Structure 1
Amino acid sequence: MANPVTDIVLTSDKLSTDTVIEKISDAKCGAISLFVGTTRNHHDGKEVVKLEYECYIPMAEKTIKNICDEIRTKWPEVFHIAVHHRLGHVPVKNASIMIGISSPHREDSLSATEFAISALKAKVPIWKKEIYCDGSGDWKENKECQWKKDTKSDRSERTEI
């Protein structure tokens, strides 16, 4: 029987649901939960054409790994976890993040997936800039963000979303 996998990917490449599902599929698991966050075409009355993500990869990976460890503590039946986040430019309708979690039964995978996206938004230092149709852009912070007060001084014009 295979050991549990924690697959963390931060990439400028397009994300694939097939890849995530392949990473977390297992014969002992009857449930796969998948969250896909995509770029929407509007925010606060402005037309968004793409998002731009950046991060310090080692810090982001470490924080994501800690979240995955917490998931395994809270839901011991969770087997495989995949967290794939796109960096750089992400056009409208494209995926920015995919979280996949497998477990023997749906309750654990569903609850753990919901926890994972909320924890990622609150804890992982990944910055997002909305780019509008006129070429302008605004850096955004998640309203759940716990670390924003520490980094506020290094970014001007932050807006909560």
Structure 2
Amino acid sequence: MEVQVRLFATLKDRIGREAISVHVPEGASVADLLQAVAEAYPALHPYLASAVVAVNHEFAFPHDALRPGDEVALFPPVSGGEGNPSRPEIVALTTEPIDLDALVRAVSTPRTGAVAMFTGVVRGEDGARQVQALEYEAYAPMAEAKMRQILAEIRARWPLVQGIALVQRLGRMVVGEVTVAVAVSSSHRHEGIFEAARYGIDRLKEIVPVWKKEIGAHGEVWVEGHYHPSPADVTRRPDAG
């Protein structure tokens, strides 16, 4: 069967294409797919050992079976909605500047007395390198799904939390611009909001497929992470019935 594979960040740049196709036998596994990719696209071979595989917007592992029509993506390790008005949840990927005041209002309810927020910004220096801008891209359908997974994880750990927002900006941003925001509200500051906001950004950096390209006098470099997902990070196995 023919499998379409989407590529992101470093992998996309290596061959100058956003998608490839490979042929594998019926019932092939993810491991079989990676072998087929290595043989058909030798330029990708050195990067496949550390690549993350997703099937139908969920992490996949070597033994997982593929089915006709599966959507497959390969990428390096990872570097809005409505619901109960008393427990607002916002998940967003946006190319527009993040309005932090609007985000505080969005996670607040009549019972809210405290909001904790983490914001990430583009820094102008990274070690010895001078940075002019960052460019972010995402595997959008899976990114939104994993962001919602993080919301559920926060709710399980900090039940007194009221509103939660995870917002990731995409595209090119210059020094000083906000790249990501996590906001968490509750009635009182001691109800876990600081810990929940920290957990939200840490988890986003682990399992949400978003990558950044660093742009400066040294050229353009994709900044890749080191965290590799495990079966514990999966909410729904791609071969589940």
Name the TM-score, length of structure 2 as normaliser: 0.58
Deviation >3 Å, runs of 4+: none
1:105 matched to 2:105: no
> What is the aligned partner in structure 2 of residue 131 from structure 1?
215
SS at match of 1:106: coil
One of 137, 148, 153 as aligned partner of 1:70: 153
Cα deviation, residue 146, structure 1: 2.5
Instruction: String of CA shifts for 1:1-35, please: whole Å, max 9, x gaps.
Output: 93311101101111111111110122212110011
SS at match of 1:119: helix
User: How many Å separate the matches in 2 of 1:67 and 1:121?
Assistant: 11
Cα deviation, residue 109, structure 1: 0.8
One of 99, 116, 119 as aligned partner of 2:203: 119
SS at match of 1:65: helix
Cα deviation, residue 84, structure 1: 1.0
User: How many Å separate the matches in 2 of 1:2 and 1:85?
Assistant: 22
> What is the aligned partner in structure 2 of residue 87 from structure 1?
170
Counterpart AA for 2:171: G
User: How many Å separate the matches in 2 of 1:66 and 1:20?
Assistant: 20
| Higher mean C-alpha deviation, range 43-52 or range 62-71 | 43-52
SS at match of 2:197: helix
Counterpart AA for 1:52: E
Q: Give the count of matched residue pairs.
A: 145
Unmatched 5+ stretches in structure 2:
1-83, 230-241
Structure (1/2) with the larger strand percentage: 1
Counterpart AA for 2:202: S
> What is the aligned partner in structure 2 of residue 152 from structure 1?
none
What are the residue-to-residue correspondences of 1:5-20 with 2, within 5 Å?
5-20=88-103
SS at match of 1:4: coil
SS at match of 1:142: coil
User: How many Å separate the matches in 2 of 1:45 and 1:10?
Assistant: 30
1:146 matched to 2:217: no
Name the TM-score, length of structure 1 as normaliser: 0.85
User: How many Å separate the matches in 2 of 1:49 and 1:74?
Assistant: 38
Compare CA radii of gyration and give the structure with the larger one: 2
Unmatched 5+ stretches in structure 1:
148-161
User: How many Å separate the matches in 2 of 1:2 and 1:120?
Assistant: 24
User: How many Å separate the matches in 1 of 2:216 and 2:116?
Assistant: 32
SS at match of 2:152: helix
SS at match of 2:183: strand
Do 2:86 and 2:109's aligned partners in 1 also have CA atoms closer than 8 Å? no
> What is the aligned partner in structure 1 of residue 137 from structure 2?
54
Higher relative contact order, structure no. (Cα contacts within 8 Å, ≥ 6 residues apart): 1
